[in-house]
Structure 1
Amino acid sequence: MRVMVLVKATAESETGQLPSKELLSAMGAYNEELKAAGILITADGLKPSSQGKRVAFDGTGRAVIDGPFAETKELVAGFWLWEVKDMDEAVAWVKRCPNPMPGPSEIEIRPLYEMLDFANL
């Protein structure tokens, strides 16, 4: 199964504060473990929402909203895309992850839809 692993933003990540050299090194080593295990498809970090935009849809109307966006705890600061056998394996790998932020943080795991999910439509 494929899962998207979302690193939730923090107040620090939303200021554009870059990770320490130690954290970059630890995350690099972790990503190498994911590659060696054949799990990692892709991964990347996102710039703060102040550099982003949203497009709101209402029927045929479109409105562009400039960042930054409220509710930092609901924003994403980075992601991985993994191929795992099941959710338990994804959770086990996330538990091995270095803390991606200098303070408290959260990582969310979301399964992706597969073609089989649409077979009965």
Structure 2
Amino acid sequence: MRFMMIVKGTKDSEAGVKPSEELFAAMMRYNEELAKAGVLLAADGLQSSASGIRISYPEPGGKPKVIDGPFTEAKELIAGYTLIEVKSREEAIEWAMRMPDPHGFGEGEIELRQVFETPELTQDPQMLINDAALRDQMEQLKKS
């Protein structure tokens, strides 16, 4: 089971305020723990929404619309994420509870969301074969 820990944005993250050296070191130690446990798939901070771009679909079948950042409502924005693969929802919660306050100052908020696996979305045998082949191709590209 894959889960994404979504670190919510704050006014500071949207203003481009970097984490303190202490917080950065704590996050690195946490990511090292995840890696040593074999559950870490990815972990990154995101630049503020000022450099972001949204693509919206204002009408069914219509042309997509490009909207440049910054975007309002910092609490609705994402400042970073950690992607893990674990055996259960409970294990994902345990790992999320161990993450240091991602912004410090008691302002951190993490949203934990399970990632859909392809068989949950389709039972079409050809689509499942295509998905497996794509994942294999991605693994081969990582190795080269």
Question: Does TM, normalized by the shorter one, top 0.5?
Answer: yes
Separation (CA, whole Å) in 1 of partners of 2:36 and 2:87? 15
Paired amino acid for 1:113:
F
- Matched residues in 1 for 2:96 and 2:115: separation? 17
Partner of 2:17: helix, strand, or coil?
coil
Q: Tell me the alpha carbon deviations over residues 22-65 of structure 1, each in whole angstroms, 9 at most, x when there is no partner.
A: 11111000000000001101111100001111111132222211
CA separation of 1:118 and 1:62: change in aligned 2, threshold 3 A = closer
**Structure 1 unmatched runs, 5+:** none
- How far apart, in 2, do the equivalents of 1:70 and 1:62 lie? 21
Greater Cα radius of gyration, structure 1 or 2: 2
1:116 and 2:119 matched:
yes
Partner SS state of residue 65, structure 1: strand
Q: Equivalents in 2 of 1:36, 1:102: separation in Å? A: 24
2:82 alignment partner in structure 1 = 80
Structure 2: 5+ residue stretches without partners: 125-144
Give the structure 2 partner of residue 105 of structure 1. Answer: 108
Partner residue, 1:41: 41
Larger strand proportion, structure 1 or 2? 1
Higher relative contact order (CA 8 A, sep 6+): 1
Identity across aligned pairs (percent)? 48
What is the identity, as a one-letter code, of the residue corresponding to 1:108?
E
The alignment's C-alpha RMSD in Å is 1.3
